[in-house]
Amino acid sequence: PALNVYGHGPYPIGGRSECEIHSANWARQLLGCIAIGLEGQPMLDPLTGTVEPAVENSRDAVAELLKQLAPMSSGHTLEIVRH
């Protein structure tokens, strides 16, 4: 809820139920989503001018994940639940 991401509706206006896996380098580029990368090292964030924890090669990582999952994607859904 702190990120305006909810498991099931109804949820407040502006809220959502999706949690995406996508490319990103820094945590500030995410809002309740997951970024994957092939390497993880601190990098200079050009917006803040500071060195921050980051993931690298995230677009390549997403492409590889999609390639690996493609044969299994038809008819499957991933559900993340809180216990």
**Model pLDDT for residues 27-41, shown as the tens digit of each residue:** 888 877 889 999 989
Tell me the C-alpha distance between 56 and 69, whole Å: 21
Longest dimension (CA), the chain: 44
Instruction: Enter the pTM of the model.
Output: 0.66
pLDDT digits 0-9 by tens, 42-66: 999 999 999 999 999 999 999 998 8
Please list the residues that pair with 22 across neighbouring strands.
Answer: 35
Tell me the C-alpha distance between 11 and 80, whole Å: 17
Tell me the C-alpha distance between 20 and 18, whole Å: 6
Shortest CA distance to 27 belongs to which of 14, 40, 15? 40
